[in-house]
Amino acid sequence: MSVKTLYGKASVTEPIKAMVTHGRMAHGFLLTGEKGVGKKTCALYIAKSILCENSRDGVPCGVCRQCKRIDEGTHPDVITPERTGKTLVYGKDSIREMYDDAYTMPNDCDAKVYLIPDCESLQEQTQNLLLKLIEEPPDYAYFIFTAQSKGTFLPTILSRVITLGIPECSDEECAAALREKGVYTEEQIQSAVEAFHGSIGRCESCLDGEGLETAELCRKIVACMASSDEYGLCRVLAEIGENRDKVKDILVMLDKVMRDVCEVRLYGENAVFIGCCKDGAKKLAERMSFKKALHIHEIIGKNINYCNANINVPLAMSALCGEMV
């Protein structure tokens, strides 16, 4: 992906540009943000900034041999450790292999970049193995972690990396990015942006068929809440099943709707919506107090944390059902 398509990410590009310009690139980064906001895209941008042959004013060119190989996923000095097991976690063996590899000179450049994405389930023992590596890295080694929250990491890790929050784009920037793909109709783009706003990744998943079901299930839940249909709500929750990732995606979407309900209660017609169900949020706001909406928002947040832990998902969702109607 060309750097020209990095929409709404000045919070990443500007500090990286300054580091490159002054020759003071940090050796460790943690990129945080919700699913679909562009953490991987930003990680690749940083990798290009480090390895680009023709950067100008601190900005990677996007077209040199190194940048192209990074985009193609074939660069020998951009390395992602292997995840193992049913839950695809970074095991101790993977980190030890990365440790050994980090002390082997680069293959084709003056630097090596390690991309460690999706660190939500990075265990404490594994982080302790990482700590020694990022405390005293080889001069040529750089490490880029991504996670939805920095709460996953030990304070000792956080003190040795630069944390950059990845914001969503504006709706307009998201629509422009989708148009640039050249494969979606304007109607499809507007529908996706209405549901997922500035999350380009979620919009793409929706348009490719993966997010349509999630958005529809969220709308069903909101409709049941608006009509106090407890039986219908239980039925929808049963339809969701026990897949943690799916449940978490729906909870994140529902949480945004509850935020919209709070916004309507506070600001009325001047409310700014970020959820997938604007009309549903308005209906809920008609029958729900700000205090109640805030309470449900807090309960949803707890359930999202439960999804990150090994707590029984059906039990957690059943408890949530009782709070929502």
For residues 198 and 258, state if they share a domain.
no
Domain that includes residue 201, residue range? 170-209
For residues 152 and 7, state if they share a domain.
yes
For residues 93 and 156, state if they share a domain.
yes
For the chain, 325 residues long, the average pLDDT of each consecutive 10-residue run is: 65 93 94 89 95 92 94 95 75 89 93 93 87 92 93 93 91 90 87 83 78 81 89 84 80 90 91 84 92 90 78 72 73
For residues 68 and 101, state if they share a domain.
yes
For residues 83 and 64, state if they share a domain.
yes
Residue pair 105/139 in contact by the 8 Å Cβ criterion: no
Task: Report the predicted TM-score, pTM, of the whole model to 2 decimal places.
Answer: 0.74
Residue 217: both structure tokens together: 């299930």
CATH code where residue 146 lies: 3.40.50.300
For residues 288 and 140, state if they share a domain.
no
CA distance 193 to 178: 9
The side-by-side arrangement of strands in the sheet containing 112-116 is 78-79, 112-116, 141-147, 28-32, 162-165
Which pLDDT score, from 0 to 100, does residue 208 have? Answer: 76
**Which of 146, 165, 184 delimits the end of a domain?**
165
Q: How many CB atoms lie within 10 A of CB 176?
A: 16
For residues 39 and 186, state if they share a domain.
no
CATH code where residue 239 lies: 1.20.272
For residues 112 and 232, state if they share a domain.
no
CA distance 218 to 280: 10
Which pLDDT score, from 0 to 100, does residue 1 have? Answer: 39
For residues 135 and 13, state if they share a domain.
yes
Bridge partners of residue 30, in order along the sequence: 145, 163
CA distance 169 to 118: 20
For residues 191 and 238, state if they share a domain.
no
Which pLDDT score, from 0 to 100, does residue 86 have? Answer: 62
Instruction: Provide the domain count of the chain.
Output: 3
Contacts of 3 (CB under 8 A, 6+ apart): 13, 45, 48, 59, 60, 61, 62
